[in-house]
Amino acid sequence: MPAVPHRRAAALRWAAVVGAAALLVTAALTGRPAWSAGGPPAPGEGVEQVLARAAASADVPFTGTATSSGALGLPDLPRLGDVAALVGESTRTRTWWADETTWRTDVLTATGERGLYATGGRLTGWDYERDALTTGAPLSGARLPRASDLLPPALGRSLLAGSAPDAERRAAAGLGERVVAGRLADGVRLRPGAQQADLSTVDHADLWVDRATGLPLAVDVVDVVGGPVVASSFDQVTLGAPDPAALAVPAPQGATVRTAETDVAAGAATAAPWVLPTELAGLPALQDPSTTGAVAYGTGLLRLAVVSLPVDQGRQALRAAEAAGADPLEPSAQGPAETSGASAGTAETALVRAGALSAAVVVVPGSRDDGGGRAYLVSGAVQPELLSRAAEQLTADPPERRP
């Protein structure tokens, strides 16, 4: 049985990719917040004002150290960078933030640090221990999560992205006040809306927002069984413009310089062959599907990430997931969409679950004219029912080919 270890290794590899794709929902794939900027805090302001100011905090400059931790337990495999560590361990960072386009975040380790500098729409990585620079990575677009995505401000804003204030007002509650990193913060607990609660594996997210500036200082996301999904908090923070010298990209003599490789998430988005819909399983798209093959859908805490795959890659992912013991998706309670497309029963599916994350590989057989079929990776911190609804829509009403 020599093939079994190889099949299991492949299955683990795809399980990790599936998990990383789900994390894109709260990282690079989230849309811009739908909140308007709030003014200075008023005495006794409501939770909607606190959330509006948090969502509009990207231009609040700061310098600080933070600790984030996750409990997703993804395997540490090649081409996934630091994803497994970011979502399964504790990560300590130091950040200088001027605005969304100019910042620096260092990951602090026991033996050194690894810095990431954003300037001019590009990223430069600096590995102090290895004396190595990595250049040419884009600042935005589909990608794997990075340490800066788990900073309290970035994580808090991503949780609010694409949400409407009136919906959040109904699903949010004040938590009072507490001191975080020496600053007075107002707390708000977000919950999935009444119509979303049965579809989400997230029970709530607690945001602690600086009263003076609206900057999120701490975020805790908890699943439906009371376990932590991700937590992030400043240990120390100073508000105000960072030292310009700290933002200067290093240029040490003799350092190794290499070009950044395209990670698996960015590669999948670029190679995606199908134009995804503007609405999926009742959720609106948070990006323009005509511009990318990886799209996040959702509102509030309910988020779904979808990547369209070449059918051969989809079949490989499907077989790998099956070799790891994955089961097919069950039909959704609402049934397939009524369209003139292919029957939803013709699709092959495999469901992978890792803690709060659920993901499905969906392969729809086709003819030679459409490349032999379609394939999708659908994932999120959601119940399998929502994945089934998405799979049935993608099967019954197949998207058109990307130009």
Residue 368: the pLDDT is 56
Greatest mean pLDDT among 16-30, 81-95, 271-285 lies in: 271-285
User: What are the pLDDT digits (tens) for 185-238?
Assistant: 999 998 887 777 788 888 888 999 999 999 999 999 888 888 878 889 999 999
The DSSP H or E segment spanning 136 is strand 132-138
Identify whether the C-beta of residue 349 lies closer than 8 Å to the C-beta of residue 362: yes
Domains of the chain: 40-259 (2.50.20.10), 272-396 (no CATH)
Is the pTM higher than 0.85?
no
Instruction: Enumerate residues 6+ apart whose C-beta is below 8 A from 384.
Output: 329, 330, 351, 353, 358, 360
DSSP code, position 374:
E
Look at the chain and count its residues: 403
pLDDT above 80: residue 113: no
Tell me what pLDDT residue 336 has.
Answer: 52
**What pLDDT does 81 receive?**
47
Mean of the per-residue pLDDT values of the chain:
74
Q: Sorting pLDDT into bands at 50, 70 and 90, what band is 144?
A: low
Could you tell me where the DSSP H helices lie in 36-114?
47-55, 83-88
Tell me what the mean pLDDT of segment 86-104 comes to: 81
Per-residue burial over 311-334, b = 16 or more CB atoms within 10 Å of its CB, e = otherwise: bebbbbbbbbbbbbebeebeebee
Residue 153: which pLDDT band, with cuts at 50, 70 and 90? very high
The string of pLDDT tens digits covering residues 232-271 is: 999 999 999 999 999 988 877 776 767 656 555 555 666 6
* pLDDT confidence of residue 212: 93
Beta strands in 213-280 (DSSP E): 216-223, 228-239, 256-259, 279-280
- pLDDT score of 97 more than 90: yes
pLDDT of the residue at 262: 55
Query: Which of 103-117, 183-197, 342-356 shows the lowest mean pLDDT across its residues?
Result: 342-356
Q: In the prediction, which pLDDT does 342 show?
A: 42
Burial class, 33, CB count within 10 angstroms (exposed 0-12 / middle 13-18 / buried 19+): buried
User: How far is Cα of residue 142 from the mean position of the Cα atoms in its chain?
Assistant: 10
Place of tokens 């299991």: 8
Residue-wise burial string across 38-69, b where 16 or more C-beta atoms lie within 10 A, e elsewhere: beebeeebebbbbbbbbbbbbebbbbbebbbb
Q: Would you state the pLDDT for residue 78?
A: 40
Q: Report how far residue 135's alpha carbon sits from residue 137's, in angstroms, rounded to the nearest whole number.
A: 6
Which pLDDT belongs to residue 38?
43
> For the residues 75-101, what does the mean pLDDT come to?
64
pLDDT surpasses 90 at 182: yes
